[in-house]
Amino acid sequence: MTTAQALLEVQDLKKYFPVQKGVLRRTVGYVKAVDGVSFRLQPGETLGIVGESGCGKSTLARTIMRVLEPTAGKILLDGQDISQLSGKALRRIRRKFQMVFQDPYASLNPRMSVQDIIAEPLVVNGLVAARDIPAVVADLLEKVGLKADDRQRYPHEFSGGQRQRIGIARAIAVQPRLIVADEAVSALDVSIQAQILNLMQGLKQELGLSYVFISHNLAVVRYISDQVGVMYLGHLVELTTKQALYQQPLHPYSEALLSAALEPSRKHKRERILLRGDVPNPAHPPTGCPFHTRCPKVMDVCRQSRPTLREAAPGHWVACHLH
């Protein structure tokens, strides 16, 4: 968290979903999917977000993208708060940030040709004349490792990995500065995952992109990320460089996640940490630290007071009373 101008700055972001009951659908509570997340992303960096299923990773991604409306907090893109924008103002700035979705089968319209799919954001933003669309789409397809002739085909004619390449081509068509990738490789075979990750790394260098990369796969995040944030029950509990996190995690939850990951070398194999119980209901989160009900190092203060994200070591932020 430096003082330099960040490309993306998220400040105390919250996304609550109302719980409604009865014939009149009265709101009786809220599911706190994202509950006070803050971080900064510098130009050219990749921030990986990891955590168990249901921790709020995908909701965070969709809220940053304004696919979901934030309940509270700020989303600053190049210093401009996009959380309050709507209508034409939001459409104008959407060119700066695009999204790659998890499911390459559901994210492409089966009734549209590849050319129409990739050209749609270009047409909507008025970036390319109609006569130039075939050439521009062909160039984008070649950038992502497909053939120019593929533009006349339809999504059902491609494999999962090829469809994800089409999704990436669509995302980079408007020359964004930021791409939010929500589990972009989790639906693909392992060998294809590596190809897509290498493609994204190459595009990052070629086009000067920054990524927020959401994943539950610690190996994938380690490969592609510069910074890593660990989420638990809607909270960011640790944020640091990937080297610091994987070598010396400070939060007990991070330690447990890393202990469960497969280590390629027995020399660095960690002792497995088994967490007791289940993830609490986000509609009724525990008081104090959200992790204290499962934490092997719990203290009395953990049950009473929620720790804030603070810098325990240079560039290493953690929300834990142990630090």
pLDDT digits (tens, 9 = 90+) for 121-164: 999 988 999 999 999 999 999 999 999 999 999 999 999 999 99
**d(Cα 292, Cα 79) in Å, to the nearest integer?**
36
The torsion region of residue 79 among left (phi > 0), alpha (psi -120 to 50) and beta comes to left
* pTM of the predicted model as reported, rounded to 2 decimal places: 0.90
For residue 171, count CB atoms less than 10 angstroms from its CB and return exposed for 0-12, middle for 13-18, buried for 19 or more.
buried
Residue 3 has pLDDT above 70, yes or no: no
The tens digit of pLDDT for each residue in 14-67 reads 999 999 988 888 998 999 999 999 999 999 999 999 998 889 999 999 999 999
**Mean pLDDT calculated for residue range 243-266:** 84
Q: What is the mean pLDDT of the chain?
A: 92
Q: What percent of the chain has pLDDT over 70?
A: 96
Q: 316, 319, 290: which is closest to 303 by C-alpha? A: 290
**Triad 168, 172, 229: Cα angle to 5°:** 70
Q: 147, 164, 163, 165: which is closest to 155 by C-alpha? A: 163
Only one residue has tokens 């490309």, namely 7
Residue 266 has pLDDT above 80, yes or no: no
pLDDT band at 301 (very low <50, low <70, confident <90, very high): very high
What is the amino acid identity at position 56?
Answer: G
| Residue 267: predicted pLDDT | 56
Structure token digits, residue 242: 């990937």
Measured from the Cβ of residue 156, the count of other Cβ atoms closer than 10 Å reads 9
**Mean pLDDT calculated for residue range 193-222:** 95
Residue 265 has pLDDT above 70, yes or no: no
| Residue 1: predicted pLDDT | 44
User: Which residues on neighbouring strands pair with residue 30, listed in sequence order?
Assistant: 18
pLDDT band at 2 (very low <50, low <70, confident <90, very high): very low
User: Who's near 171: CB < 8 A, 6+ residues apart?
Assistant: 98, 99, 100, 179
| Residue 25: predicted pLDDT | 87
